Amino acid sequence: MLSWLVPQASTSARDIDWLFTLILVTVGFWFVVAQAALFTLIFRFRRRPDVAAAYISGERKEEKRWISRPHALVIVCDIVLIAGALLTWKAVKQDLPPADERVRIIAQQWAWVFVHPGPDGKLDTDDDVRTVNDLRVKIDTTYHFELTSRDVVHSFSVPAFRLKQDAVPGRIVTGWFRPTRLGTYDIQCAEICGIGHALMPARLTVETPAEQAAWYASRSAQGG
Amino acid sequence: MAHAQQQSFWSRYVFSTDHKIIGLQYLFTGMFMGLVGSFLAYVFRMQLAFPGEPVPLFGVVTPLHYNALVTNHGAIMIFWVAMPILIAGLGNYLIPLMIGCDDMVFPRLNRLSYQIFFLSTVVILVSLFVPGGGFGGAWTAYPPLSASAQYNHTPWGAPLWLIAVALEFVAFLLGGINFVTTVMNARAPGMGPMQIPIFVWMVVIASIVFMASVGPLVAGAIMLLFDQLLGTHFYDPKAGGDPILWQHLFWFFGHPEVYVVLLPALGIVAEVITVFSRKKLFAYKTILYTAFATGIISFFVWAHHQFVAGIDPRMAHLFTITTLIISVPIAEMTFAFIATLYGGSIELRTPMLWALAFIAEFLVGGVTGIFLGANATDIYLHDSYFVVAHFHYTFFPIAIIAGFAALTYWFPKMFGRHMNETLGKIHFWGTIIPFNFIFLPLFVLGAAGEHRRIYSYEHFSQLFTPGLQNLRVLATVALVVMLLFQFVFLYNFIRSLFAGEKAEENPWKANTLEWLAPSPPPHGNFAEMPTVYRGPYEYSVPGRPLDYWPQHLPN
């Protein structure tokens, strides 16, 4: 459902969109049933002359089942949704699949600094490439990112990846993503970080290994 | 009574210890702050719909303005509108009347509570006009942004905002002590725990939840104030502090706070739907127990605000489970309210329209909360407009819809006159229809990835599309329409105060004790202190000539 509104460009996006649809169907059912019951009762029992209201305490067992049975069904639905949420969370956030490459992301007021591993595929070597507001990753490659902040709390958010992680000063948070679709997508800061909060729009480009190699080569040709 | 008439205007209306006057002081202050909070929303919505254009009555909105507008809109609507109207205003006015006593047990503490609240109101309003402008670090005030003027650029606004919030907490702590003690000790003879009207129970549970959750935040707020003013480093990672600590202290209060305002709103709905459907409340005890369960579980859900904050990912599982479990008692209570209508004789007067609208609209807020409580979908939706739409579908029904249900329902008691029914219905539809056109588009914008607290989306190519911009304009236009319809209410309210049709003691033919007192009730409330013989919802009892059976009538 979400992919109608925003591209689905990572493995996590697929998992999260599946859970979104599961929740939508489940709560949508309850929403329709509850609204239908509410409006039906309002219409059916509107005041008529000479028709008195019934006296129902709702404390007797055969009356109470009108709320205790839906109550049990809500619990069943909750268990299904909890299971779906926990499994999806484990897959996208808790488990860390082995990395093909690593990138470093440093947030500050008000820009994103990205450290790419360079042609050798390793961070903290001479060929690392630092950019501002421009992150380039290879398709179908599992990345680990190391995320931190220089000043206040920011949040690294890539809607097309369904990825969001706060950048906290004093901490390095590790996460992962695996791009599945070529293209250029928005990076946002999702946690208010001062007067430039709207001015942290970075771009994320998912490209082929050949395109990335060419980009690295053009950077080193410029002496960058 | 002679004593009351000798009092001067000042001692009677300003420095009064009468629970009704204090209740009305809270109510009117809350309504005034509602206008302030609405104006802030109008300004930033105009900026989002027409970025960069001067906003009528305000001017061009800068990023510094924008952050202060959203921050203070949120803080004012929760702390200076929902809390004073639902808990302090209605709680003060109604609790002694509904339990059949002459006043709160600590009247001077009550007066002190309002005075501190009034001071907090002055401080928050002043903080909007100091050099650097009002605080702009969001109502959640996460450090290090909130802790240092170097980051937030509001050297005066930030500490003043924090002082105002802390004063407000003190005021409500005093009020809460009073509510709980009064209900425990001053009930009319014969009023056992199961004869207490649900609204009173809800205010008591809410007060207990508030008092038990606010302590850590008061401590946290003082630490933050020290960080701001004295150079301590409680939340500063550069000196060994931890910014996440504040998030825990804030949300340990912040999420129970949602239920603190929700429960009294549900209590209002229970009172109104029983009277206007002439029905006994369905499963009184179940409703009471679900309210207790909600209050208790609300202490174990706070970290669902922090799924992506850098907490241990394993901890998120626990908070997803507790958060989805809290849907169970709330759903059951909703079922009981809907079941109450079954077999009723429903009259759609203005208060009833508001109460039914509460159920219909709150359902939207309830079911959309599941998307956010589920940790995995929250990764995407966190800090998006989906969250904004979700909590407005909870807070708007709580503070505004239930607030109007209460005002229109108890207006004849408070002021001895009726409000105009036709104007009431025009105002109802003029509020409810635009309300949905404001916030339904925000669900779509949030699902499309629109993040919060951004003064302009022009730099985000995926968000600055004509389709999404049209939704922003739709929401803003709907907001302006809704705000214009509030003038109908203000006109009706003020005109009815002086020229409304006179109301008798019990115009709605209700059972609870406040309707025994004269309208408006004098100092001391009752001519003769009542005794209670039955529960509050004995409507349409078979074999009785009248379809209501007031609590105070002997068998």
From chain A, the residues in CB contact with B347 under 8 A are: 46-47
pLDDT digits (tens, 9 = 90+) for B123-170: 999 999 999 999 999 999 999 999 999 999 999 999 999 999 999 999
Strands of chain A, DSSP E = 101-108, 111-116, 129-132, 134-138, 143-149, 154-158, 163-167, 173-177, 183-189, 202-207
pLDDT digits (tens, 9 = 90+) for A50-86: 899 999 999 898 999 999 999 999 999 999 999 999 9
Among the residues of B230-325, which ranges form H helices?
Answer: 243-277, 284-297, 313-325
Q: Is B383 in contact with A191 (Cβ distance < 8 A)?
A: yes
* pLDDT over 70 at A223, yes or no: no
Report ipTM for this prediction.
0.96
Q: Is B342 in contact with A54 (Cβ distance < 8 A)?
A: yes
Does A18 contact B at CB distance below 8 Å?
no
Please tell me whether residues A59 and A77 are part of one structural domain: yes
* CATH classification at residue A133: 2.60.40.420
Q: What DSSP state is assigned to residue A200?
A: -
Share above pLDDT 70 across residues of chain A, in percent, rounded to a whole number: 99
Please tell me whether residues A115 and A177 are part of one structural domain: yes
> For residue B1, what pLDDT is reported?
41
CB distance B38 to B47 below 8 Å: no
CB distance B159 to B228 below 8 Å: yes
> For residue B5, what pLDDT is reported?
54
Its domain, for residue A70, covers 2-94
Closest by Cβ to A53, choosing from B313, B343, B462? B343
* pLDDT over 50 at B517, yes or no: yes
Q: Is A58 in contact with B283 (Cβ distance < 8 A)?
A: yes
CB distance B101 to B521 below 8 Å: no
Query: B315, B451, B460: best mutation site toward chain A, by most A Cβ within 10 Å?
Result: B451
Question: What predicted TM-score, i.e. pTM, was given to this entire model?
Answer: 0.96
pLDDT digits (tens, 9 = 90+) for B223-257: 999 999 999 999 999 999 999 999 999 999 999 99
Which of A66, A94, A122 terminates a domain? The answer is A94
pLDDT digits (tens, 9 = 90+) for A152-165: 999 999 999 999 99
Between the alpha carbon of residue B518 and those of residues B94, B196, B309, B421, B523, the distances in Å are 14, 21, 55, 22, 11
Which of A62, A94, A126 terminates a domain? The answer is A94
pLDDT digits (tens, 9 = 90+) for B184-209: 999 999 999 999 999 999 999 999 99
Please tell me whether residues A148 and A217 are part of one structural domain: yes
Determine the average pLDDT of the residues in A136-147: 97
When pLDDT is cut at 50, 70 and 90, the band that residue A177 belongs to is very high
Please tell me whether residues A112 and A87 are part of one structural domain: no
pLDDT digits (tens, 9 = 90+) for B63-109: 999 999 999 999 999 999 999 999 999 999 999 999 999 999 999 99
Distance CA B107, CA B126 (A): 29
Please tell me whether residues A216 and A114 are part of one structural domain: yes
Closest by Cβ to B345, choosing from A45, A64, A82? A45
Please tell me whether residues A169 and A66 are part of one structural domain: no
Q: What is the mean pLDDT of chain B?
A: 96
Please tell me whether residues A142 and A218 are part of one structural domain: yes
Beta bridge partners of B262: none
When pLDDT is cut at 50, 70 and 90, the band that residue A1 belongs to is confident
Omega cis (within 30) before A110: yes
Which of A69, A94, A119 terminates a domain? The answer is A94
Supply φ then ψ for residue A99, to 5 degrees. Answer: -85, 140
Please tell me whether residues A55 and A112 are part of one structural domain: no
Supply φ then ψ for residue B372, to 5 degrees. Answer: -90, -30
Closest by Cβ to B338, choosing from A5, A38, A53? A38
When pLDDT is cut at 50, 70 and 90, the band that residue B6 belongs to is low
pLDDT digits (tens, 9 = 90+) for B459-491: 999 999 999 999 999 999 999 999 999 999 999
pLDDT digits (tens, 9 = 90+) for B347-406: 999 999 999 999 999 999 999 999 999 999 999 999 999 999 999 999 999 999 999 999
* pLDDT over 50 at B458, yes or no: yes
Query: B318, B342, B378: best mutation site toward chain A, by most A Cβ within 10 Å?
Result: B342
pLDDT digits (tens, 9 = 90+) for B262-309: 999 999 999 999 999 999 999 999 999 999 999 999 999 999 999 999
Listed in sequence order, the residues at least 6 apart from B468 whose beta carbon sits closer than 8 Å to its beta carbon are B445, B448, B450, B457
Among the residues of A49-164, which ranges form H helices?
Answer: 61-89
Largest CA distance in chain A: 92
Crossing angle for the helix pair B350-373 and B313-325, to the nearest 10 degrees: 150
Please tell me whether residues A72 and A29 are part of one structural domain: yes
Q: A92-127 burial by CB neighbour count: b if 16+ within 10 A, else e?
A: bbeeeeebebbbbbbbbbbbbbbbbbbeeeebeeee
Closest by Cβ to A164, choosing from B67, B382, B542? B382
Distance CA B427, CA B423 (A): 6
Distance CA B318, CA B307 (A): 11
CB distance B135 to B127 below 8 Å: yes
Q: Is B286 in contact with A58 (Cβ distance < 8 A)?
A: yes
Please tell me whether residues A43 and A114 are part of one structural domain: no
Helix or strand or coil: residue B508? coil
Q: Chain A 57-76, CB below 8 Å of chain B: which residues?
A: 57-59, 63-64, 66-67, 70-71, 74-75
Please count the structural domains in chain A: 2
Please tell me whether residues A16 and A116 are part of one structural domain: no
CB distance B511 to B538 below 8 Å: yes
**Residue B126 burial (10 A CB sphere; 0-12, 13-18, 19+):** middle
Please tell me whether residues A16 and A62 are part of one structural domain: yes
Q: Is B383 in contact with A2 (Cβ distance < 8 A)?
A: no
When pLDDT is cut at 50, 70 and 90, the band that residue A130 belongs to is very high
